[in-house]
């Protein structure tokens, strides 16, 4: 008989202690174009399976030492071999043994003496089933991955939307609050001025040596009035910063801006301040081939001013004050570096400095001689101003040495 039996692709492991059976089945399956591995007992099969990964196992039930059931149990316990379909070969016809085989995880059985065509048919069926199962598992994994990805995307998008909505709501709230505060603030300032004037008038009308109680009372009113003026000043500083922020929400038209000229102008402006001119060494290093970028001039000027002010503030107690401003570019971005030899920023504060109202400076009126004051809105405002141009700010800083703030602007700007 030399007809080639139809088989297929795949590796089959035959486990049988009977060398004759093994040989006949080996030849038959080999002839059916399968790759065939053999083992003569359960232990040998398990050893072989540490290296090989057959697509199907034909397992004899009756074997010395470790029988087929025992071998099957081991196979199903090991995650590496658990999914390989097992077909039992059994001479036993009692129902109980067949049931035991299925209970142990076998997919099928064939009875001895073997009908080779039957073996082939069953082998082919289970190989196909096995492949379909693997295919399904892979598809399922792919689907699960797509699902995870989708879930992540939805979550991220939702977070962005909530954040945008929050920012917009806060912006509207701030505008409303600032608007409502302006009139009462003006009233406070005016009334306080009137009170001061009235005290002056009263003092002038009194005799040169007024009653001590009256003198004391007038004095204390004057002190209270000074306190009110100071508090008013603090509130106005915050209000002005907030108004700047809400002004930003009204989008202005972007026009090509020459950042080098903008920086030169800022330096000329600073040079007019004698404090800066005489006490601060400055270095302006401009890339003359810097392209013009579509920006809102006043917004970028505001960003640069805020950063330069911070740099100067950071150096108020420094021995050597050096302010460096530099422009540079690469293929995709333009950079403005503003560096100082000031106090520097501790690493754990590097993120917080961009939070609104984060400041290490005292409010106006509470500063020591020459000490800079702040509201903590400067850097936050910078980020908001840069947002429409997809700009960002990077910081490098070393405590006691100084800091470099870098404005990063993409060359391709899509205003959004
Ligand atoms: N160049 C710098 N060197 C050291 N610290 C800095 C520098 N720039 C900013 N900081 C730190 O970041 C904080 C926040 O800066 P930001 O400009 O937002 O507010 P501010 O300068 O304190 O107040 P405002 O700018 O509103 O008047 C500052 O108080 C300071 O501690
Ligand atoms: Mg500032």
- Tens of pLDDT along the chain (416 residues) come to 333 446 668 999 999 999 999 999 999 999 999 999 999 999 999 999 999 999 999 999 988 889 999 999 999 999 999 999 999 998 866 666 778 889 999 999 998 889 999 999 999 999 999 889 889 989 999 898 888 888 888 888 888 788 777 777 777 777 777 777 877 888 888 888 888 888 888 888 777 777 788 888 888 888 888 888 888 888 887 877 776 665 554 456 788 999 999 999 888 877 766 666 568 888 999 999 999 999 988 889 889 989 999 999 999 999 999 999 999 999 999 999 999 999 999 999 999 999 888 999 998 888 898 899 988 889 998 998 898 899 999 999 999 999 999 999 999 865 44
Name the residue at shortest CA distance from atom 25 of ligand 1.
378
How far apart CA 226 and CA 280 sit, in angstroms, is 34
Ligand 1 mean position, distance from CA 138 (Å): 54
Taking the CA atoms of 102, 104, 105 and 111 in sequence, report the sign of the dihedral they define. Answer: negative
- The class (CATH top level) of 255-410 is alpha beta
Query: Cα torsion for 66, 67, 70, 72, to the nearest 10°?
Result: 120
- Which atom in ligand 1 lies closest to the alpha carbon of residue 379? 18
3-state secondary structure of 275: helix
Taking the CA atoms of 254, 172, 408 and 380 in sequence, report the sign of the dihedral they define. Answer: positive
**What is the predicted pLDDT for the residue at 296?**
86
Ligand 1 mean position, distance from CA 338 (Å): 13
Question: Domain 11-114 belongs to what topology?
Answer: Rossmann fold (3.40.50)
Ligand 1 mean position, distance from CA 329 (Å): 26
Which ligand has the shortest distance to the CA of 397?
1
Which ligand has the shortest distance to the CA of 237?
1
**What is the predicted pLDDT for the residue at 1?**
38
- Please identify every residue whose CB atom is under 5 Å from ligand 2, which is an ion: 310, 378
Q: Which residues, in sequence order, are CB contacts of 210 under 8 Å at separation 6+?
A: 218
Ligand 1 mean position, distance from CA 232 (Å): 22
Ligand 1 mean position, distance from CA 399 (Å): 14
Predicted structure pTM score: 0.50
**Ligand 1, CB cutoff 6 Å, lining residues:** 241, 306, 310-311, 314, 340, 342-343, 345, 353, 358-361, 374-380, 403
Which ligand has the shortest distance to the CA of 379?
1
Between strands 11-15 and 35-39, the pairing is parallel
The answer to whether the beta carbons of residues 52 and 80 sit under 8 Å apart is: no
């Amino acid at each position: 008989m030399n007809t080639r039996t139809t088989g297929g692709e795949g590796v089959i492991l035959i486990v049988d202690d009977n060398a004759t059976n093994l040989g006949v089945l080996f030849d038959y399956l080999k002839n059916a174009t399968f790759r065939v591995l053999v083992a003569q007992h359960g232990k040998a099969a398990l050893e072989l399976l540490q290296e090989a990964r057959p697509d199907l196992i034909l397992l004899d039930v009756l074997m010395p030492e470790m029988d087929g059931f025992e071998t099957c149990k081991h196979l199903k316990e090991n995650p590496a071999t658990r999914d390989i379909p097992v077909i039992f070969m059994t001479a036993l016809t009692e129902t109980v043994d067949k049931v035991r085989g299925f209970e142990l995880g076998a997919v099928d059985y064939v009875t001895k003496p073997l009908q080779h065509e039957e073996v082939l048919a069953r082998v082919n069926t289970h190989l196909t089933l096995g492949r379909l199962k693997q295919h399904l598992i892979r598809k399922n994994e792919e689907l699960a991955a797509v699902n995870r990805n989708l879930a992540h995307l939805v979550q991220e998008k939702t977070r962005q939307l909530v954040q945008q909505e929050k920012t917009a709501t806060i912006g509207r709230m701030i505008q409303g609050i600032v608007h409502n505060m302006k009139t009462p603030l003006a009233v406070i300032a005016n009334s306080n001025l009137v009170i001061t004037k009235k005290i002056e008038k009263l003092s002038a009308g009194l005799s040169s040596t007024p009653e001590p109680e009256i003198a004391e009372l007038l004095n204390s009113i004057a002190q209270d009035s000074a306190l009110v003026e100071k508090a008013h000043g603090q509130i106005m500083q915050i209000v002005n910063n907030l108004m700047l922020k809400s002004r930003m929400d009204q989008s202005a038209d972007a026009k090509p801006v020459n950042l080098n000229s903008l920086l030169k102008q800022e330096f000329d402006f600073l040079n007019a301040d004698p404090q800066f001119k005489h006490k601060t060494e400055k270095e302006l290093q401009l890339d003359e081939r810097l392209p013009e970028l579509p920006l809102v001039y006043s917004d970028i000027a505001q960003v640069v001013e805020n950063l330069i002010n911070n740099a100067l503030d950071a150096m108020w107690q420094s021995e050597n004050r050096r302010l460096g401003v530099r422009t540079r570019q690469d293929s995709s971005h333009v950079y403005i570096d503003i560096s100082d030899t000031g106090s520097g920023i501790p690493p754990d504060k590097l993120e917080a400095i961009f939070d609104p109202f984060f400041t290490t400076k005292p409010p106006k009126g509470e500063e020591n001689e020459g000490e800079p004051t702040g509201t903590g809105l400067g850097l936050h405002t910078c980020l908001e101003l840069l947002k429409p141009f997809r700009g960002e700010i990077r910081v490098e800083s070393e405590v006691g040495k100084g800091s470099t703030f870098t404005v990063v602007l993409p060359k391709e700007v899509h205003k959004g």
